[in-house]
Amino acid sequence: MPKITINGKEIEFEKGMTVLQACELADVEIPRFCYHEKLSIAGNCRMCLVEMDKSPKPIASCAMPAAEGMNIKTNTALVEKARKGVMEFLLANHPLDCPVCDQGGECDLQDQSLYYGVDKSRFVENKRDVKEKYMGPLIKTQMTRCIHCTRCVRFATEVAGVPEIGAIGRGENMEITTYLEKSMESELSANVIDLCPVGALTSKPYAFEARPWELKKTESVDVMDAVGSNIRVDTYNWEVKRILPRLNNEINEEWISDKTRYSCDGLLKQRLDVPYIKKNNKLQKSSWDEAINLLVDKINSVQPNEIAGHIGDMINMENALSFKKFFKSLKSENLEFREKNFYINSDEKMNYIFNSSISGIEDADLILLVGTNPRHEASILNARIRKTFVQKKIPIFSIGNPGDLTYGYEIIGDSTEDIKKIVNKEHDFSQKLLSAKKPIIIIGESALELKSGGYIFEELKKFLIKNNLINENWNGLNILAQNASTVGLLDLKILQGKNAKSSSFFNDLRNRKFKLLYLLGSDNLELKKNDEFIIYQGSHGDRGAEIADLILPSATYTEQNGLYENLEGRIQECKKASYPIGEALEDWKIFNRIIKKLGFKDRIANFDELRKEVLETVPNFLEINELPKKSVIKTNNVETSFYKEKIFARELDYYYTNSISRSSKTMSECRQIRQKIKKNGTNN
């Protein structure tokens, strides 16, 4: 490996690194504003100047490729003077409004001017003033503070794939703006707030809410979709003030979606704080004792097979397992968690996870989407596909038309016939698929919901195995789950007995066979209430609570510890950042109370044991935060039937997918704007 000398210390670096990256290897800190690891190099802030031997002037280390034998110095008087000079220029037009700026306390400019700047200003001329720019309901702008690092411009163009931010004008009059001050049409737009090194782009919903040092920070995971983005939950007392991304290169890199970030105000609204009982067709406040007594009476008045349970989209694995155990003591097998009846082959773990893993997308040389819109179903995963597309120019194909995905793709069909042709090698695409070394097929829930969902999955699987495209090193057969709970619940074998293979739950539900329906945080189940008794146990007064006869309040994902399994089958821990509101309890504690009242003995002793049991149940489990053990998928011949159907990606109301986001004011503002754009055509 080539060697470089930094401050007299010789270190080895990898070819292709810049001087700045080599300095980082040597543990030498270089101040910077425009440079960001995940973005292209701009080299326009000049803060990273260092001294190089044989160079008459200091060099911008972020843009200079490191080379063998370079001698870099970062602690000389020249470098110090250069930094001070650059800092003085940056501060020339920067307002001194730190006391009223939301970035205060976590501002790169503030921190770096403390360490590298001068303590007084020689700038006596007028400072420039830039008008605020509208950038949508999430981003608050104060453009006078902007130092023109263009991180936001590069993020929008490169990562988000919506080139809508740009720098207009020139010289002193340069301004950063979105095209004609429209809101940014991206699911990742709010990441520019984190990227902004100053207070030019700050969070609109969080404006003047708190200072960073006042907040309690909890490292957790997100449950808004099945990606399991790593987040940091910032709380002030009970209230979740904001959610920020946490770096995890395996999953979300440094980004999170807008829904992940801004659904948190939904945690404060529409909350269920006490049990409610429907009396005279009206929900009335009640007590735990009364509620549980009523529930136990109801349970005792029906047959076990008339009791059914449905688990919602954001339930953690411990609670789901305790629910399953609860149902076992009730002797009912009618458990379900799917919102729509999609095909799933739960024999083996490899049948229902995203096998190639999110970071594995970058190794792919061909991607086929089948009835899925990853942009809405898993925005972060879509960003990874885009990254691969931009870097490697891989061909992407789709069956069904998902609309704008921020990258180019070719639609090669829209019906199950096309799948048939592909697996029979009658389609033009078959050859492309066969000649690929690491192809990825992503099957969406919309495709699996079709009558031929089983056919689509099993035939594609057979085709891949037959042609050795699934082997020990590569498994590109992926299911894109939409809900945070889906994969975990499959691993806990929630679908059991006759339910595992057939759609008996949905049939029975339609045929009104159930007399008692227990909704555990389940708001998205399509259901017409008849005369069944519905119990809703959850955190928000949403769709489930609306139709319920009895409401039991429980905690949200930020208010309890719990494990979630993301679509890759990676188990991650969601940590308690706040505590449940009012009389609300964790779900497993509620079941314990009911079990006690029913007089059964199999209560859950404590949470740790519950977690232990969860981890023992999960197949292929290796370690928390790690991918599951890989095993080669078996070909078991599953009988499936073919129907001629259209494959499409079911439209998702992106900002309104779960009870938390539906309660969020920010999300409904975003949704309104999105709908307006849809109605008036595009932005323009």
Contact set with another protein (CB under 8 A)? 157, 163-170, 173-175, 178-180, 684
Task: Give burial (CB, 10 Å; 0-12/13-18/19+) of 623.
Answer: exposed
Residue number, 69 or 169, with CB nearest to another protein: 169
Q: What are phi and psi of 487, to 5 degrees?
A: -65, -40
Q: Residue 215 and residue 212: Cα distance in Å, rounded? A: 6
- Specify the DSSP element, H or E, that contains 89: helix 77-92
Answer for the pair 280, 288: CB distance below 8 angstroms, yes or no. Answer: no
| Residue 466 Rama label (left phi>0; alpha psi -120 to 50; beta) | alpha
Tell me which residue has tokens 């001017």.
113
Q: Residue 268 and residue 266: Cα distance in Å, rounded? A: 5
Reduce the secondary structure of 467-534 to three states and give it as a string: CCCECCCCECEEEECCCCCHHHHHHCCCCCHHHCCCCHHHHHHHCCCCCEEEEECCCCCCCCCCCCEE
The minimum distance between CB 32 and another protein, in angstroms, equals: 24
The minimum distance between CB 406 and another protein, in angstroms, equals: 12
Tell me which residue has tokens 């070394």.
437
Closest CA to 557 of 350, 366, 317: 317
Q: Residue 209 and residue 195: Cα distance in Å, rounded? A: 20
SS3 659: helix
Residue number, 157 or 398, with CB nearest to another protein: 157
Answer for the pair 22, 16: CB distance below 8 angstroms, yes or no. Answer: no
* Bridge pairing between strands 562-565 and 571-574: antiparallel
The minimum distance between CB 168 and another protein, in angstroms, equals: 4
The minimum distance between CB 222 and another protein, in angstroms, equals: 30
Answer for the pair 522, 319: CB distance below 8 angstroms, yes or no. Answer: no
The minimum distance between CB 42 and another protein, in angstroms, equals: 14
Answer for the pair 319, 574: CB distance below 8 angstroms, yes or no. Answer: no
Tell me which residue has tokens 């939301």.
102
The minimum distance between CB 131 and another protein, in angstroms, equals: 9
Q: Residue 558 and residue 237: Cα distance in Å, rounded? A: 13
Residue number, 166 or 395, with CB nearest to another protein: 166
Residue number, 69 or 163, with CB nearest to another protein: 163
Tell me the Cα Rg of the chain: 27
* Bridge pairing between strands 165-168 and 216-221: unpaired
Q: Which amino acid is at 168?
A: I
Residue number, 124 or 180, with CB nearest to another protein: 180
The Cα-based distances of 104 to 209, 235, 405 in angstroms read 12, 18, 36
Residue number, 150 or 416, with CB nearest to another protein: 150
The minimum distance between CB 683 and another protein, in angstroms, equals: 8
Answer for the pair 561, 223: CB distance below 8 angstroms, yes or no. Answer: no
Q: Residue 265 and residue 258: Cα distance in Å, rounded? A: 12
Residue number, 18 or 177, with CB nearest to another protein: 177
Residue number, 173 or 391, with CB nearest to another protein: 173
State how far Cα 113 lies from the chain centre. 34
Residue number, 134 or 506, with CB nearest to another protein: 134
The minimum distance between CB 634 and another protein, in angstroms, equals: 46
Residue number, 168 or 411, with CB nearest to another protein: 168
The minimum distance between CB 252 and another protein, in angstroms, equals: 25
The minimum distance between CB 179 and another protein, in angstroms, equals: 4
Residue number, 606 or 682, with CB nearest to another protein: 682
Residue number, 162 or 436, with CB nearest to another protein: 162
Task: Give burial (CB, 10 Å; 0-12/13-18/19+) of 382.
Answer: buried
The Cα-based distances of 165 to 156, 184, 258, 260, 406 in angstroms read 6, 8, 17, 22, 15
Residue number, 123 or 179, with CB nearest to another protein: 179
The minimum distance between CB 153 and another protein, in angstroms, equals: 9
Residue number, 166 or 619, with CB nearest to another protein: 166
Q: Residue 303 and residue 281: Cα distance in Å, rounded? A: 25
The minimum distance between CB 122 and another protein, in angstroms, equals: 25
Residue number, 30 or 165, with CB nearest to another protein: 165
The minimum distance between CB 157 and another protein, in angstroms, equals: 8
Q: Residue 503 and residue 343: Cα distance in Å, rounded? A: 9
Closest CA to 7 of 90, 72, 89: 72
The minimum distance between CB 39 and another protein, in angstroms, equals: 17
CA-CA-CA-CA torsion sign (501, 610, 555, 298) = positive
Q: Residue 3 and residue 51: Cα distance in Å, rounded? A: 17
Enter the DSSP assignment of 158: I
The minimum distance between CB 186 and another protein, in angstroms, equals: 13
The minimum distance between CB 166 and another protein, in angstroms, equals: 4
Residue number, 168 or 247, with CB nearest to another protein: 168
